[in-house]
Structure 1
Amino acid sequence: MSNIDIRHDHSLTHAKARKAVEEVAEKLAERFGIEYDWNGDILNFARSGVDGKIALGPKQLRVTASLGFLLGALKGPIESEIRRVLDERFK
Protein backbone atom coordinates (compact mmCIF):
# COMPACT_ATOMS: atom_id res chain seq x y z
CA MET A 1 0.00 0.00 0.00
CA SER A 2 1.31 3.46 -0.92
CA ASN A 3 0.72 6.57 1.14
CA ILE A 4 0.39 10.22 0.18
CA ASP A 5 1.07 13.00 2.68
CA ILE A 6 0.99 16.56 1.33
CA ARG A 7 1.02 19.78 3.34
CA HIS A 8 0.02 22.96 1.54
CA ASP A 9 0.10 26.48 2.99
CA HIS A 10 -2.79 28.83 2.22
CA SER A 11 -3.89 32.36 3.08
CA LEU A 12 -7.66 31.95 2.68
CA THR A 13 -10.18 32.61 5.39
CA HIS A 14 -11.55 29.52 7.07
CA ALA A 15 -14.89 29.81 5.25
CA LYS A 16 -13.27 30.24 1.82
CA ALA A 17 -10.83 27.38 2.41
CA ARG A 18 -13.65 25.07 3.53
CA LYS A 19 -15.72 26.01 0.48
CA ALA A 20 -12.77 25.31 -1.83
CA VAL A 21 -12.20 21.89 -0.22
CA GLU A 22 -15.91 21.12 -0.61
CA GLU A 23 -15.81 22.09 -4.32
CA VAL A 24 -12.82 19.82 -4.92
CA ALA A 25 -14.59 16.96 -3.13
CA GLU A 26 -17.74 17.46 -5.23
CA LYS A 27 -15.73 17.23 -8.44
CA LEU A 28 -13.95 14.09 -7.24
CA ALA A 29 -17.31 12.56 -6.36
CA GLU A 30 -18.73 13.33 -9.81
CA ARG A 31 -15.66 12.23 -11.71
CA PHE A 32 -14.43 9.23 -9.73
CA GLY A 33 -17.30 8.13 -7.51
CA ILE A 34 -15.54 9.13 -4.31
CA GLU A 35 -17.75 9.37 -1.24
CA TYR A 36 -16.94 12.04 1.33
CA ASP A 37 -18.16 13.57 4.56
CA TRP A 38 -17.03 16.22 7.02
CA ASN A 39 -16.02 15.51 10.59
CA GLY A 40 -15.34 18.96 12.03
CA ASP A 41 -12.61 20.47 9.85
CA ILE A 42 -11.58 17.12 8.37
CA LEU A 43 -13.02 15.93 5.09
CA ASN A 44 -12.85 12.14 4.89
CA PHE A 45 -13.05 10.52 1.45
CA ALA A 46 -13.03 6.97 0.18
CA ARG A 47 -13.72 4.67 -2.73
CA SER A 48 -12.38 1.34 -3.82
CA GLY A 49 -8.59 1.59 -3.80
CA VAL A 50 -8.25 4.86 -1.88
CA ASP A 51 -8.98 6.08 1.63
CA GLY A 52 -7.95 9.52 2.85
CA LYS A 53 -8.67 12.87 4.38
CA ILE A 54 -8.09 16.58 3.98
CA ALA A 55 -7.45 18.33 7.28
CA LEU A 56 -8.22 22.05 7.14
CA GLY A 57 -6.05 24.25 9.35
CA PRO A 58 -5.96 28.04 9.68
CA LYS A 59 -2.90 28.42 7.44
CA GLN A 60 -2.34 24.94 6.02
CA LEU A 61 -4.12 21.98 4.45
CA ARG A 62 -2.92 18.44 4.89
CA VAL A 63 -3.95 15.78 2.39
CA THR A 64 -3.29 12.18 3.40
CA ALA A 65 -4.35 9.07 1.56
CA SER A 66 -3.66 5.37 1.44
CA LEU A 67 -3.65 3.93 -2.07
CA GLY A 68 -4.42 0.31 -2.80
CA PHE A 69 -2.24 -1.90 -4.96
CA LEU A 70 -3.47 -0.70 -8.37
CA LEU A 71 -3.58 3.01 -7.55
CA GLY A 72 -0.27 2.72 -5.72
CA ALA A 73 1.37 2.23 -9.11
CA LEU A 74 0.06 5.70 -10.04
CA LYS A 75 1.22 7.45 -6.87
CA GLY A 76 3.48 9.94 -8.70
CA PRO A 77 0.84 11.21 -11.16
CA ILE A 78 -1.81 11.29 -8.41
CA GLU A 79 0.44 13.39 -6.14
CA SER A 80 1.24 15.73 -9.03
CA GLU A 81 -2.45 16.27 -9.76
CA ILE A 82 -3.23 16.92 -6.08
CA ARG A 83 -0.44 19.50 -5.91
CA ARG A 84 -1.68 21.16 -9.13
CA VAL A 85 -5.22 21.48 -7.77
CA LEU A 86 -3.96 22.80 -4.43
CA ASP A 87 -1.79 25.40 -6.19
CA GLU A 88 -4.79 26.45 -8.29
CA ARG A 89 -7.35 26.64 -5.46
CA PHE A 90 -5.26 27.67 -2.45
CA LYS A 91 -2.86 30.46 -3.39
Structure 2
Amino acid sequence: MAGIDIQHAHALPPPRAREAVQQVADKLVERFGVDCQWQGDALHFSRAGVDGRIALLPGAVRVQAELGFLLSAMQGPIESEIRRVLDKHFA
Protein backbone atom coordinates (compact mmCIF):
# COMPACT_ATOMS: atom_id res chain seq x y z
CA MET A 1 0.00 0.00 0.00
CA ALA A 2 1.13 3.53 -0.78
CA GLY A 3 0.97 6.11 1.96
CA ILE A 4 0.24 9.82 1.94
CA ASP A 5 1.24 12.07 4.83
CA ILE A 6 0.83 15.82 4.32
CA GLN A 7 0.93 18.51 6.99
CA HIS A 8 -0.33 21.98 6.06
CA ALA A 9 0.07 25.03 8.31
CA HIS A 10 -2.83 27.46 8.76
CA ALA A 11 -3.87 30.37 10.96
CA LEU A 12 -7.59 29.60 11.23
CA PRO A 13 -9.26 29.48 14.64
CA PRO A 14 -10.19 25.90 15.63
CA PRO A 15 -13.95 26.19 14.88
CA ARG A 16 -13.24 27.59 11.40
CA ALA A 17 -10.60 24.91 10.73
CA ARG A 18 -13.10 22.20 11.70
CA GLU A 19 -15.67 23.77 9.39
CA ALA A 20 -13.15 23.74 6.52
CA VAL A 21 -12.39 20.04 7.10
CA GLN A 22 -16.11 19.30 7.12
CA GLN A 23 -16.49 21.09 3.77
CA VAL A 24 -13.73 18.90 2.33
CA ALA A 25 -15.41 15.80 3.78
CA ASP A 26 -18.75 16.78 2.26
CA LYS A 27 -17.08 16.95 -1.17
CA LEU A 28 -15.44 13.55 -0.65
CA VAL A 29 -18.81 12.03 0.19
CA GLU A 30 -20.49 13.69 -2.78
CA ARG A 31 -17.81 12.92 -5.39
CA PHE A 32 -16.41 9.57 -4.24
CA GLY A 33 -18.91 7.97 -1.86
CA VAL A 34 -16.45 8.08 1.02
CA ASP A 35 -17.66 7.27 4.54
CA CYS A 36 -16.60 9.93 7.06
CA GLN A 37 -16.76 10.07 10.85
CA TRP A 38 -15.36 12.55 13.38
CA GLN A 39 -13.41 11.13 16.33
CA GLY A 40 -12.32 14.03 18.50
CA ASP A 41 -10.35 16.44 16.32
CA ALA A 42 -9.80 13.93 13.51
CA LEU A 43 -12.09 13.09 10.62
CA HIS A 44 -11.64 9.47 9.56
CA PHE A 45 -12.60 8.52 6.02
CA SER A 46 -12.73 5.27 4.10
CA ARG A 47 -13.99 3.53 1.02
CA ALA A 48 -12.75 0.67 -1.10
CA GLY A 49 -9.08 1.37 -1.83
CA VAL A 50 -8.43 4.13 0.72
CA ASP A 51 -8.40 4.62 4.49
CA GLY A 52 -7.27 7.82 6.10
CA ARG A 53 -7.79 10.72 8.42
CA ILE A 54 -7.65 14.50 8.49
CA ALA A 55 -6.42 15.66 11.88
CA LEU A 56 -6.70 19.17 13.26
CA LEU A 57 -3.50 20.15 15.06
CA PRO A 58 -2.62 23.47 16.68
CA GLY A 59 -1.91 25.70 13.66
CA ALA A 60 -1.93 22.86 11.14
CA VAL A 61 -4.00 20.19 9.47
CA ARG A 62 -2.54 16.75 8.72
CA VAL A 63 -3.82 14.39 6.06
CA GLN A 64 -2.79 10.76 6.23
CA ALA A 65 -4.05 8.03 3.92
CA GLU A 66 -3.24 4.49 2.91
CA LEU A 67 -4.00 3.81 -0.74
CA GLY A 68 -4.88 0.37 -2.02
CA PHE A 69 -3.19 -1.25 -5.00
CA LEU A 70 -5.20 0.44 -7.76
CA LEU A 71 -5.08 3.93 -6.24
CA SER A 72 -1.37 3.64 -5.39
CA ALA A 73 -0.62 4.07 -9.10
CA MET A 74 -2.26 7.53 -8.81
CA GLN A 75 -0.42 8.62 -5.65
CA GLY A 76 1.28 11.64 -7.26
CA PRO A 77 -1.88 13.19 -8.73
CA ILE A 78 -3.82 12.43 -5.54
CA GLU A 79 -1.19 14.21 -3.41
CA SER A 80 -1.25 17.19 -5.79
CA GLU A 81 -5.03 17.43 -5.50
CA ILE A 82 -4.89 17.21 -1.70
CA ARG A 83 -2.35 20.06 -1.60
CA ARG A 84 -4.54 22.16 -3.95
CA VAL A 85 -7.62 21.62 -1.75
CA LEU A 86 -5.67 22.41 1.42
CA ASP A 87 -4.38 25.64 -0.13
CA LYS A 88 -7.93 26.60 -1.09
CA HIS A 89 -9.58 25.86 2.28
CA PHE A 90 -6.73 26.75 4.64
CA ALA A 91 -5.19 29.83 2.99
TM-score, length of structure 1 as denominator length: 0.99
**Which residue of structure 2 lines up, in the alignment, with residue 71 of structure 1?**
71
Distance 1:86 1:53 in 2: 14
Matched residue type, 1:11: A
Unpaired runs of 5+ residues, structure 2, are none
- Stretches of structure 1 that go unaligned for 5 or more consecutive residues are none
Identity of aligned residues (%): 60
Q: Deviations over 1:4-46 (max 9, x none)?
A: 0000000000000000000100010010000000000010000
Shift of 1:57: 1.1
Matches within 5 A, 1:3-22: 3-22=3-22
Distance 1:54 1:40 in 2: 11
Residue matched to 1:23: 23
Does residue 82 (structure 1) correspond to residue 79 (structure 2)? The answer is: no
Which amino acid in 1 is paired with 2:40?
Answer: G
Cα RMSD, aligned residues only: 0.4
Q: In 2, distance between residues paired with 1:37 and 1:29?
A: 11
Q: Give me the whole-angstrom Cα distance separating, in 2, the residues matched to 1:80 and 1:53.
A: 17
